Amino acid sequence: MIWANLLHLSYNMWLDREAPELPKSRYVSYKPYLRFDRSLWDDLLTASRDAGINMIIIDLGDGVRYDSHPEIAVENAWSVEELRSELQKMREMGLEPIPKLNFSATHDIWLGPYARMISTPAYYDVCRDLIREVIEIFDTPRLFHLGMDEESYKHQAHQGYVVIRQFDLWWNDFFFLLNEVEKKGVRGWIWSDYVWEYPEMFWERMPRSVLQSNWYYNPEFRSDIKEVGAYLELDSRGYEQVPTFSNYSDDTNSEGTVRFCRENLDVNRISGFMTAPWRPTLEEVRQDHLRAISQLAQARKLWEAG
């Protein structure tokens, strides 16, 4: 059973260089340097282990100086050797490290110039290179999170450069990325929110081999809420899920998610749960991270109590 905490090495996922900060968060704009405090990272790994968390999903982005494409790395990015050492330390702590590279056109600012080359031969070459290198660095992890969420205009309205793949193009690129992961013997994992807007295409084309993380961060759980209803529909259609909660906007969402899933889903198709605090690894948001870990621990106790 997966009990996962999403942590960030890179936090360049939202606004590009030309866009102002959004009022909701002062962390969402691109920065050309690594926003990362080692002291907090170390403490979060220890706290995760002590709380019974057994998996850390690492959003890598441009926080690594990849051998294949060092040009996308931000200032002070980790070397490949540093990342390998950290992964070994995590495994010794009982924490399974899983890589995440978000290839959604809304969240790929970390790709640098290649974020403006979507669906071109150069883009495919870079994505292939990065996926292969990350899988090698992680010694062939059992899972690889590809992101692929929120690719719509409303999620890019504040960006200086807007690009959205639709219809067959979105699926073509998704299957390209998935194939690069699967041919290395790794299982693909994505955010499931594409199904909220395009259910017919999702049910027709999404392989059941892909691990799904539907997400919902609010306190009220009703089946007529589309994000909540997606948990039910994914389950009824036989998809394995890692439901995802967060303390980004509500501190009761974790327990609410576990209760809803326990009461309404086939437990045999729930691979685990994830918390996604959506905060950079910076000391100034330490308490948000620690609360997320504590809430995940409480959610696990609730789940195991039946």
Residue range 2-305 forms a domain whose CATH class is alpha beta
Q: pLDDT by residue (tens digit) across 52-91? A: 999 999 999 999 999 999 999 999 999 999 999 999 999 9
pLDDT of residue 26: 84
CB contact burial 246-267 (16+ within 10 A = b; e otherwise): bbbeeeebbbbbbebbeeebee
- 17, pLDDT greater than 90: no
Model pTM?
0.98
Q: What span, in angstroms and rounded, lies between the C-alpha atoms of 237 and 110?
A: 34
Q: Judge whether 103 and 147 are in contact, CB under 8 Å.
A: yes
Neighbours of 96 (CB within 10 A): 18
Percentage of the residues of the chain whose pLDDT score is greater than 70: 100
Q: pLDDT by residue (tens digit) across 37-56? A: 999 999 999 999 999 999 99
